[in-house]
Structure 1
Amino acid sequence: MRPEKRLRVVIDARPLSHPQAGGYRSYVSALVSGLAALAPSDIEILLYLDRPLETTLPFETRTLSPSRLKTDFYGFAQQVKKDRPDLVHGTVNYLPLGISTRTVLLLYDALLLKRYPWEEKLQRSVRQRLLNGYWAALMRRSARTATRTFTISRGAAQELASVLGGAPERFPIVPIGLTMPLPCPGIVREPNTLLAIAAPDARKNIEALYAALPLLADLSPTLKLVCTSAYTASAAEEAIARRGLKNVQLLRNLDNQALSDAYASAGAFVFPSRLEGFGLPPLEAMQAGTPVVCSHALPMPEVLGDAPLYFSPESPQELAAAVRRLLTEPATLGAQCSERGRRQAALYTLRAMAEKTVALWREVAAA
C-alpha cells in the first residue's frame, strides 16, 4: 500500500521570536509544546519566525524578516508558495496577505474591533493609532477570507460575534493549555502578601487595586507587582509615588520558574482586568495553589469556575472586601480556594489544546 500523504501545516510562530511578550507568545508557546508532546504522525509542522531564536524548537523552522510590513505584505506568502503547505494556521488575529492555501485563524479577542468605555480617555500617539487601524483592517479582512476562524473562550466568541456578525457558535473554542512550571519544592507562602501583574493598560485595571489598598491599611498587606518590562516598572513606580502607597515591591526580570515561585509564595493573587480573551495569569496562580481574587469580567467565570473570589472591576470596595476575606481566613476560605483552583487549572492541559487544534486542522483539510 502507498503511504498516505502527511498533512503539512505552517504555523505563524512569529510571536516566539518577536521581542514583545504577551498573549500571542503564550498561545504559540503552549501550542508548540502541546503539539511536540502529542507528536501526530500524520502531520508535518513548519514554524515561521521573524528572526532567529537562540533556543531549539521541536519542529522545522523558517526565518522570515523582522519587518512586520514586509512579511505581512509579501514575505510570508512567498515562503508559503515555496513550502506548499496544505494549511496555514494564523495566530495573531490576522493572516498575512496573498496566502492562497486553506487557512485556520485564531481570533484572540475583539479588542482591535470594538470601542470599550475605558478607552474613551486614552491618549494614543499617531503611530499607535495607525498601527491599530492597520491591524484592525487586516483582522476584519482575515475574518472574512479565512477558511475557518476559532477563538479561545466563549466570552471571546461572544465579543467577536458582536462586531463580526453571526452567532458566537461560528467560532469554535480551543482553550489555551498551561505551560507554567510548577513551583520549586519548599516555597513558603507569605499569608499577608498580595501578588499582581503591573500593567498600565487601562483594560488591565491595576488602578482598582491601588485604590483598594488604603481600605486594607489595618491589615498592612505587602503588594508585590510583577513588571514585565522597564516601561511597566516605570509606570508602576509613578503610580505608587502619586498615590503614596506603602509596602509595595516591584519584581523585575522574572523567568517562568521565578514567576511560578512568586505565585506560590503569595497569600493571594489579584487580577482586576476589565476584559480578557482568556486570562492566563489567574490560572497560573491557581496551578501554584494560590487563592485568587478576580474580577467577574468576561470570560473569567467561564475559565476559572468557582475557584476565585469575584468582584466588580469597577468597585475597589468589592476588591478590598474579597482580599480581606482571604487574608483573614487563610486556613479555611484560603484553603478551599486553593484546592478548587488546583482542580480547575488541571483542566487546561497542553495535550487537550493540541488535540483540539489537530482535530480542527483535519476537519478543514478534509472539507
Structure 2
Amino acid sequence: MQRYGGISRYFFELTSRLSSNEVADVSIVSPLYINNYLKSEPPYSFVRGRYVPYDFAGVRHMVGLANRFAAPFAWSNMDADIVHETYFTMLPVGKGGRRVVTVYDMIHELFAPKVKRLRMGITKRAAIDRADHIICISETTRRDLIRLYEIDPARTSVVHLGYSLTSASGGAEVQRTKNRPSLLYVGNRGGYKNFRTLLAAFSKSQLLREFELVAFGGPPFAASEHKEIERLGLTGRVRYKSGSDAALAECYRTAVAFVYPSMYEGFGIPPLEAMSHGCPVVCSNAGAIPEVVSDAGVYFDPENAEELCGTLERVAADDGLQTDLRARGYERTTAFSWARCAEDTARIYRKIV
C-alpha cells in the first residue's frame, strides 16, 4: 500500500534475510502491490503478486480494493506455520498455525483525533487480540502497548529495526558546507512531527542567520507552511527538497546537523541514517528517540522552542562537539542492523511454532 515507507521497508528487509536464519520458506503474499522496495526484474522469488507501476491519485484505493477480493485466492494453496501480518485488519488474512503482528508505535492512540483514534483502535485491537505473539520495534512502544491495551507482557518482544541508507563515503570526513551551511530535517512535517516548533526555534537565532534549513521528503510545502515561513521572516532560508536515497545521503553528509523535533516516535530510523553519514544529531527527548540515539545526540524538550534554539546554536558553533557527535554516531549505528532484526525475528518464530 506504500510506494516507500517505514513499514514497507521493514518487511522487505526482513523477508530478504529470513532464509539466512533457518526460515525454510518465506513469502510476501500480495496479489497487487505498489511497494517500490519489492520492485525487481525479474521479480523477487519470495513475492507472490504483481507490481503495479501506474501512479495516479486512486492507485492505493484500487490496489486495496482488488486485494480484498484476490487475497483469498492467493492464500488458497498455502497453509503456513506462521502468518506475520504486515498491518492491522479486522479479519485475519491467510491460514497459519501461529500468528504474529508487529506494533510500530502508539501515535494514533496518543495524537489522533478521537474519531480516527476509535476507528483505528478497533482494528488494531482485533489484530493484537488474535496474535499469538506481538513484536514491538522499541521498548517504548512495548511499554505503551502494555499500558494502553492491557496486554500480557509475556506475549510481547522487542525487536529493533535496522537502517538501509548506506554511506558512499564510508565514514570519511566530507566538506560540510555548500554555498551556505545547512540544518537538515527529514520526513513528513504534520502534527506530532513538530516541524513548526523547529521553524520557530530557527527564526529566533541570530547566530543561525547564515544557515538554511532543508526539509527533505514528505509533501511539498502547503500554503499554510509558506505563510508561517513568511510570518517568521524565514523566506529564502527554508528550502524543500525531495529525491532519491542518494540525494538524501548527500544532504546528511553536507549538513552541519540533523534535527529531529518529533513529539513521539515508536523507533526513529532517520537519526540512524544521519549518524551513519557522520551528521551530528540534535533530537527531542520524547518517545523511543533516546532509546535509539543514546549518548550519540544532543537532546531538547520538543515543547520548548527556546531550548531547541539554544541547542542548535551550541552544536552549530562548536566544531569539537560536532566531531564528538560524529564519532559517537558511528559507534551507535553498530547496534542496529536489518541482519540483527531478521535474526531476532526468526528466533521468535522458532519459539512460538
TM-score by length of structure 2 reads 0.84
Unaligned ranges ≥5, structure 2? 51-60
Percent identical: 26
**Cα offset, 1:215, TM superposition:** 2.1
C-alpha separation between the residues in 2 aligned to 1:244 and 1:322? Answer: 21
Q: 2:346 aligns with which of 337, 340, 358?
A: 358
Q: Compared with structure 1, are the counterparts of its residues 243 and 34 closer, same or farther at alpha carbon in structure 2 (3 Å cutoff)?
A: farther
Name the aligned partner's letter for residue 80 of structure 1: W
SS at structure 1 position matched to 2:186: strand
C-alpha separation between the residues in 2 aligned to 1:217 and 1:156? Answer: 38
1:312 aligned onto 2:301: yes
- Per-residue deviation, residues 170-205 of structure 1 (Å, max 9, x unmatched): 420111111112144784212832001253321100
**Cα offset, 1:355, TM superposition:** 0.4
SS at structure 2 position matched to 1:68: helix
**Cα offset, 1:286, TM superposition:** 0.7
C-alpha separation between the residues in 1 aligned to 2:9 and 2:33? Answer: 18
Q: Compared with structure 1, are the counterparts of its residues 347 and 256 closer, same or farther at alpha carbon in structure 2 (3 Å cutoff)?
A: same
1:79 aligned onto 2:74: yes
Report the equivalent of 1:30.
13
Report the equivalent of 1:175.
160
**Cα offset, 1:235, TM superposition:** 5.7
Name the aligned partner's letter for residue 188 of structure 1: Q
* Alignment of structure 1 residues 273-312 onto 2, 5 Å: 273-312=262-301
Report the equivalent of 1:46.
27
C-alpha separation between the residues in 2 aligned to 1:242 and 1:334? Answer: 31
* Alignment of structure 1 residues 1-367 onto 2, 5 Å: 15=1, 18-19=2-3, 21-35=4-18, 39-49=20-30, 50-51=32-33, 54-56=39-41, 58-63=44-49, 66-68=62-64, 71=67, 75-94=70-89, 96-101=91-96, 102-112=98-108, 114-116=109-111, 133-166=118-151, 168=153, 170-184=155-169, 187-190=174-177, 192-197=181-186, 199-220=188-209, 221-230=211-220, 232=221, 236-330=225-319, 332-365=320-353
Unaligned ranges ≥5, structure 1? 1-14
How many residues in Structure 1 have an aligned counterpart in Structure 2?
Answer: 332
Name the aligned partner's letter for residue 164 of structure 1: Y
C-alpha separation between the residues in 1 aligned to 2:233 and 2:293? Answer: 33
**Cα offset, 1:305, TM superposition:** 0.6
Whether the 8 Å CA contact 1:196–1:224 is kept in 2: the answer is yes
Whether the 8 Å CA contact 2:258–2:281 is kept in 1: the answer is yes
Q: Compared with structure 1, are the counterparts of its residues 58 and 95 closer, same or farther at alpha carbon in structure 2 (3 Å cutoff)?
A: farther
**Cα offset, 1:33, TM superposition:** 4.1
CA RMSD, 1 decimal: 2.7
TM-score by length of structure 1 reads 0.81
Name the aligned partner's letter for residue 345 of structure 2: T
